[in-house]
Amino acid sequence: MDFQSSLTQQIQRVSVRAIKVIFELKANTTGKMPFYSGSIWRGMWGREIREKSCLFPKEDCKKCLYVKQCAYGSLFEPTSEIFAPQMQENRKFLSPPMIVQAPFFKDGIWREGETKQLELILFGDAFKYIHYFIDSLKDIGIYGVGPNRISFMIESISQKLRNGQIKPLEQEAFVLDDLFYEDWEWELPERSVKSILLHFITPLRLQKKGNILRKFELEEFLLNCQRRLEYVTALYGKAVKINKEELLELAQRISVVHEEISWTDWERYSSKQKRTMNLGGIMGTVVLSGNITPILPMLYSCSFFHIGKQTVFGLGKFEVYQKFI
């Protein structure tokens, strides 16, 4: 069996259990917002959910006996020792089982009456904490978001299904049974694909030898997809293992034929660490040509998972557009 056939078998299908919830938010006042607001929503959700669920606010989550039953500990401070003992040898902390896909504010302003979409992806059984997100978002809407404390209303809540359909959810009478919990799947296409366009929508932070890359490198991109895919499927789906050497051999048969990539600075203030953090990354488009077909399920699934550093803030989001032979 050649490496292409082997890879095709390894990544023939990707399946992960997840839900995607969409909040339509309408501003009651006008104020400043950052160009990309992912860290604001994740930070405020974290503070609110901790206040609502934490029994011992001054206790370190790692030392708390109730962390496994706690919404905040499960969502924002998961450790392998508690939540994934099988991963203890490789990592101490787990990535939060969530991704915040936040709205953009191109001119840095959220205007009164303007509606924005805030999306939330929850993996595995994290869906059972959706009430905390809804209740916290209602409270945040009252006291406001951003430097000018913009108040807002939740206009609607809906769920985006795997087939693209949007299912409205009732806010007041919401129950977990209303959520259509499903396995998101990505399979090999029936036809061969000769080229794809990758559009990096939020800053992509790929690390190589301890440094964040300021340009696109195909091999590092594919290796990050491999690691992210193996990690997410091991925890929340049917585990996928990809042979690294075969993946790198395939990469030699793929060319970057067009590239419009630039570095984008993005900063956030961490109230936990009491300092400003630079979370910049690359954005733009790349066109790849060559033997793409065997890795398409990996690329499409990773476009859903996001890749690189700080995915919980929504960083590392990209889309895949393909051209058939």
**The CATH number of the domain covering residues in 3-16+184-324:** 3.30.70.1900
Burial class, 42, CB count within 10 angstroms (exposed 0-12 / middle 13-18 / buried 19+): buried
Predicted confidence (pLDDT) per residue in 277-291, tens digit: 677 899 999 999 998
How do the domains of the chain map onto residue ranges?
Answer: 3-16+184-324, 17-183
pLDDT of residue 205: 94
3-16+184-324 and 17-183 have identical folds: yes
pLDDT of residue 181: 81
Rounded to whole angstroms, how far apart are CA atoms 289 and 255? 5
Which parts of the chain register pLDDT below 70?
1-5, 172-176, 267-277, 324-325
Predicted confidence (pLDDT) per residue in 74-116, tens digit: 999 999 888 888 888 888 889 999 999 999 998 999 999 999 9
**The CATH number of the domain covering residues in 17-183:** 3.30.70.1890
pTM of this structure = 0.92
